[in-house]
Amino acid sequence: MSPVRCTAAAVLAWTLAGWWPAAADGLRAGQWRAVQSPEIDGVAGPVQQTSRCLTPEAVADLDTTFSAVSRTTNSTCERTEHELTPQRLKWRLQCTGQIDMDVTGEFIFDSPEHYTATITARSFAMGRQLQSVRTSIDARRVGECP
């Protein structure tokens, strides 16, 4: 994998690492399992499954729990879009610098124990797209925390 692809993949990894179920119209604290299905430049990548215990405090702040946080080097990032309702969170983060990034996320909270999301991250250098990663997430509460 080229250094540019590694950088874009790393940015996507930090973005996805922060997203977990939150209190949206009654989502419940507990153990959650998320299945992430990436598509990199139109090619399906390996499906990943993660799980995490969420405390009542963790699910109390939907916006903080699911919004992207920038941890980039040599880039400046700005949230250019943000919409929050009890059933949906939609945002867009644009970064400029050594590599430009455009990251969007949309989370749909359809029941107290399930949500879906789509995260799209595109990277650019000198006006040319380097990589596009679209990740679909299906998350479900699986029980109480251990």
Whether the full predicted model's pTM is greater than 0.85, yes or no, is no
C-beta of residue 45 within 8 angstroms of C-beta of residue 144: no
Residue carrying structure tokens 């040599």: 74
Cα–Cα distance for residue pair 71/63, rounded to 1 Å: 17
Residue carrying structure tokens 């867009």: 92
Q: What is the CA radius of gyration of the chain?
A: 15
Closest alpha carbon to 122 in 132, 135, 112: 132
Two structure tokens written together for 42:
């139109």
Q: What is the pLDDT of residue 132?
A: 97
Cα–Cα distance for residue pair 139/66, rounded to 1 Å: 13
C-beta of residue 37 within 8 angstroms of C-beta of residue 133: no
Report which of residues 79 and 11 the model is more confident about: 79
If you average pLDDT over every residue of the chain, what do you get?
A: 82
DSSP state at residue 130: E
Cα–Cα distance for residue pair 39/77, rounded to 1 Å: 24
Q: Which residues contact 126 (CB under 8 A, 6 or more apart)?
A: none
Residue 22 has pLDDT above 60, yes or no: no
pLDDT digits (tens, 9 = 90+) for 88-136: 999 999 999 988 999 999 999 899 899 999 999 999 999 899 999 999 9
Q: Which residues contact 127 (CB under 8 A, 6 or more apart)?
A: none
**What average pLDDT does this structure show over 53-59?**
81
DSSP state at residue 105: E
Two structure tokens written together for 132:
């596009």
